[in-house]
Structure 1
Amino acid sequence: MSEKEPGAVSVPEEPASVLSERLKERIYASLTVLAVLIGLVEGRHVDHTGAVLAVAVTALGLWSATLVADLQARPVAHGRRLDRDDVRHVLFTSSPLLSVAVGPIVLVGLSAAGVLELRTALWVAIGTEVAALAAWGYLGGRRIGSGPLRATVTAALNTLIGLVVVAVKLLAGH
């Protein structure tokens, strides 16, 4: 095992490939939920129940599609039947697809409780998803040993990606 670069950030002792799979799923789900949130904020007749259902169904749909694809691809790729460890692995690596819905659903719940307006809750959810992309960029930069400035540049690029998704969705309409 090679030594880490100075300034690199350590992460839990999962194999890098598993961490990579989980993060890939989380980022993919963030970008998808981001597009759904923009659609909701632009919608004329969205209510709390509809917003929660849209986010939850999106996350469940992504997760289900990933499960089906991964569970079908593994036997082909590995030339053997799936065992419990395979299924556990697929469930573990795909779980971030579900977790991405938690923040927006909590914010919509706060809105339903009267803490903030629904459109505000949706915009805050959009902001937190873009901020999460920035955080992953920063963490990735630090993880590979980049200094704070270079990691911040990576975070800014990830933020730009999130903002492009927002802009394209706003320009295209829903």
Structure 2
Amino acid sequence: MAYDRRADLPPGVEAGVLADRLKERIYATITMIAVVVGLSFGEVDSLGAFATVLTTALGLWLAACVADQQAHRTVHGHVATGHELRRMLYVSSPLLSCAVGPAVLIGLAALDVLSLDAALLAAAGVAVVSLFLWGCLGGLRMGGGVLAGVVAGLADAVIGVAVALVKAAAGH
């Protein structure tokens, strides 16, 4: 019997919307890896790191909203409202949520629970692990079994690690 992927979708949510949302989450996670690794090489305190992480996420989200709205208006001849606007905001929300993990870890550093360097490196590590897990889930859902899931997860994690290594090699 064939696996019906549509049965796993939340009621009323299109598969394309979830695919777009996952794409945004992956982009945002890779961007946040670059940001936290870059911060670990700088002379920044917890407040500065927290502000950088939040403004990066907000800037990404605003840029995506502006780009989506411009694209929508170009293609459809009108500004997105109602359902179309809610879809755009739902799809782009991972651009904001990608800051939660790093912000919490930076907050712990501000409370002297761990050093800021440890918090930033942990944030990068958690982001790489999340890329691996999203890749595994994607590989499993493609129907290739556990091996395909692990390979897809490793491919995503390698991209995240490569971003971190490039930032580390650049020293900023």
Same fold (TM over 0.5): yes
Letter in 1 for 2:123: A
Runs ≥4 residues deviating over 4 A: none
Of 31, 50, 53, the residue aligned with 2:51 is 53
What is the 5 A alignment of 1:1-150? 3-4=2-3, 10-13=8-11, 14-43=13-42, 45-150=43-148
Tell me how far apart the structure 1 counterparts of residues 86 and 170 of structure 2 sit (CA, whole Å). 39
Tell me how far apart the structure 1 counterparts of residues 4 and 15 of structure 2 sit (CA, whole Å). 16
Tell me how far apart the structure 1 counterparts of residues 25 and 38 of structure 2 sit (CA, whole Å). 20
Tell me how far apart the structure 1 counterparts of residues 86 and 145 of structure 2 sit (CA, whole Å). 36
Provide TM-score, normalisation by structure 1.
0.91
Q: Which runs of 5+ in 2 are unaligned?
A: none
Q: Is the 8 A contact 2:69 2:79 kept in 1?
A: no
Q: Is the 8 A contact 1:35 1:165 kept in 2?
A: yes
1:88 shift after superposition: 1.0
1:31 shift after superposition: 0.9
1:5 shift after superposition: 6.7
Letter in 2 for 1:57: T
Tell me how far apart the structure 2 counterparts of residues 146 and 52 of structure 1 sit (CA, whole Å). 40
Q: Which has the higher contact order (CA 8 A, sep 6+)?
A: 1
Classify 1:137/1:126 alpha carbon distance in 2 versus 1 (closer, same or farther; 3 Å). Answer: same
Q: Is the 8 A contact 1:34 1:126 kept in 2?
A: yes
| Residue number in structure 1 paired with 2:153 | 155
1:146 shift after superposition: 1.8
Q: What SS does the aligned partner of 1:114 have?
A: coil
Among all aligned residue pairs of Structure 1 and Structure 2, give the percentage whose two residues are the same amino acid. Answer: 48
Kindly provide the CA deviation profile for residues 92-147 of structure 1, in whole angstroms up to 9, marking residues without a partner as x: 11111000000000001111112111110111100001011101100001111121
Tell me how far apart the structure 2 counterparts of residues 10 and 143 of structure 1 sit (CA, whole Å). 10
Q: Is the 8 A contact 2:9 2:15 kept in 1?
A: no
- Number of equivalences: 171
Q: Which runs of 5+ in 1 are unaligned?
A: none
The worse-fitting range, judged by mean Cα deviation, of 127-136 and 74-83 is 74-83
